[in-house]
Structures are given as C-alpha cells and as structure tokens.
Amino acid sequence: MYDCSINEKGFEHCGHCNKLPCQIYYATQDPSTANEEHIDGIKQRVKLLKEIMSI
C-alpha cells in the first residue's frame, strides 16, 4: 500500500486515491481472520481515511 500510494502515485496516503478500496486491500487478508471480518476491517479503514480527508 505504501509503495503504491506514496512512491507510485505521490499521494500522502491512499485516502487520496479514487480507487479506494483497491485490490491491495482485498489481497492482504490476515489468514487468521474470516472473510467477513476482513471486509469489515476494510470498511473501517476506508471510513477513517475519508474522515481524515474531510478534516
């Protein structure tokens, strides 16, 4: 995620990207979590990033 948002796209963080959440979010699932937990975690991270963007 860091390489994509910072190095490749030049953003401060991936919250600036219009493809949020992208495949990187879905592909980086912790194997100890259920798929539903993983999706919920993605939704929470996206929500936080959007909140940061509105400050």
Per-residue pLDDT tens digits for 1-55: 999 999 999 999 898 999 999 999 999 999 999 999 999 999 999 999 989 888 7
pLDDT of residue 54: 84
pLDDT of residue 53: 87
Per-residue pLDDT tens digits for 20-33: 999 999 999 999 99
pLDDT of residue 4: 96
Separation of first and last alpha carbons in the chain: 22
Domain boundaries, the chain: 2-53
